[in-house]
Structure 1
Amino acid sequence: MKKLLLTLAFSAATLAAPLTQAATYTVDHQGAHASVNFKIKHLGYSWLVGRFNTFEGTFEYDAAAPEKSAINVTIDTTSIDSNHAERDKHLRGSDFLDTGKFPQASFKSTGFKTTGEGTGIITGDFTLHGVTKSISFPVTRIGEGSDPWGGYRAGFEGSTTLTLKDYGIDYNLGPASTQVEIDLYIEGVRQ
């Protein structure tokens, strides 16, 4: 009887072990359930809004241990889309993103600090235009749960502001347009 109880206890512990580890999610960029958007002031009068159409990534997340969360995202800078073909051509050129030399931007987290229920500050290395800097920004869990196709999903949003000169982009757009705001909406499918 003791042997049976020990075997059952060991089996239960073994089965429960994976539940304590952060799950891996693949960003659902194909189904238009995630986006990387940007906006920058135009002459200080309005906003120029756009997005990057092609990106991919994964993240680790466990609601019971959010401090173990991590994310890794790669953005195809050639996919910039401001809804104006000539402007996009200029943004891909050497005045801005110089996508011939720097076809990708990336973010790889190095830490996560919980600030409340479903909120936190993520820190990581962001690379743009060949320059890598450590940045931190707030993120919020939007929700998580089963989807209609038998999978499990989790979604987050986050925003940060970048100074273009910090990344070697110094084209003069005027004093109102020295920074760009980045908004991330990430939905992932648990693997």
Structure 2
Amino acid sequence: MKKLLLTAVTTSAITLGSLFSISAQAADYKIDTEGAHAFVQFKIKHLGYSWLLGRFNTFDGGFSYDAASPEKSKIEVVIETASLDSNHADRDKHLKGTDFLNVKEFPKAVFKSTGFEVKDDNNAVVTGTFMLHGVKKTISFPVQKIGEGKDPWGGYRTGFEGKTTLKLSDYGITYNLGPASTHVEIELYLEGIRK
């Protein structure tokens, strides 16, 4: 009887240990750029009178997330700077040139997280290194979990959004656009498919 009880306890402990190990490991997600369910957008004031909006059409990356241990989350996004699109060909040419992004010399902008500070069930502050225009800086910005669950195609998805403001001169972009246009707002809308 004691042997049977000991076996049952040991089996239960192993089972619980296995479940704990599984739940403690964050799931890896591929950002759904193929289905166009993710966006990297930017916004900057034009003369202080209105906003100029645009986006980057080509980017990739992924993130690691587990609702049971959200503080272990990680994210990496790689943006092709030449994919900038402000819906105006001449302006795009200027923004991609040496006055601004200089996409020939700096073809990629990269964000890689180093920390994830949980605020509540759906909000956190992510910290990481952001490289733009050949300059790498540590930045932090708020992110919000939009939702997660099964999709109609048998997969599992999780989505986040995050927004930050960058000072252009911090990244060596010093072209004078006037005092109202020294900062650019970056907005990330990322839907990931669990691998």
**Which range, TM-score by smaller chain?**
over 0.9
Equivalence for 1:88: 92
Whole-Å Cα distance in 1 between the matches of residues 117 and 45 of structure 2?
Answer: 31
Equivalence for 1:154: 158
Whole-Å Cα distance in 2 between the matches of residues 64 and 11 of structure 1?
Answer: 18
Whole-Å Cα distance in 1 between the matches of residues 80 and 148 of structure 2?
Answer: 27
Gaps of 5+ in 2: none
Q: CA deviation at 1:62?
A: 1.0
Question: Number of residue pairs matched?
Answer: 191
Q: What are the equivalent positions in structure 2 for 1:14-163 lying under 5 Å apart?
A: 14-163=18-167
Cα deviation, 1:150-186, whole Å, max 9, x if unaligned, reads 1110000010000000000001111111100000001
Choose from 163, 166, 190 the match for 2:170.
Answer: 166
Whole-Å Cα distance in 2 between the matches of residues 19 and 91 of structure 1?
Answer: 45
Q: CA deviation at 1:20?
A: 1.7
TM-score of the two chains, using structure 1 as the length reference: 0.96
Gaps of 5+ in 1: none
TM-score of the two chains, using structure 2 as the length reference: 0.94
Whole-Å Cα distance in 1 between the matches of residues 18 and 171 of structure 2?
Answer: 47
8 A contact 2:23–2:68 mirrored in 1: no
Whole-Å Cα distance in 2 between the matches of residues 11 and 139 of structure 1?
Answer: 35
Q: CA deviation at 1:30?
A: 1.2
- Could you say which structure has the larger radius of gyration? 2
8 A contact 2:57–2:84 mirrored in 1: yes
Q: CA deviation at 1:86?
A: 1.1
Q: Percent identity?
A: 63
Tell me the amino acid that sits aligned with residue 20 of structure 1: A
Matched, 1:190 2:191: no
Q: What are the equivalent positions in structure 2 for 1:5-20 lying under 5 Å apart?
A: 5=8, 6-7=10-11, 9-20=13-24
Whole-Å Cα distance in 2 between the matches of residues 181 and 116 of structure 1?
Answer: 24
Whole-Å Cα distance in 2 between the matches of residues 126 and 62 of structure 1?
Answer: 23
Cα deviation, 1:55-84, whole Å, max 9, x if unaligned, reads 011111111111111101100001000001
| SS of equivalent residue, structure 1 residue 116 | coil
Tell me the amino acid that sits aligned with residue 70 of structure 1: K
Whole-Å Cα distance in 1 between the matches of residues 35 and 184 of structure 2?
Answer: 26
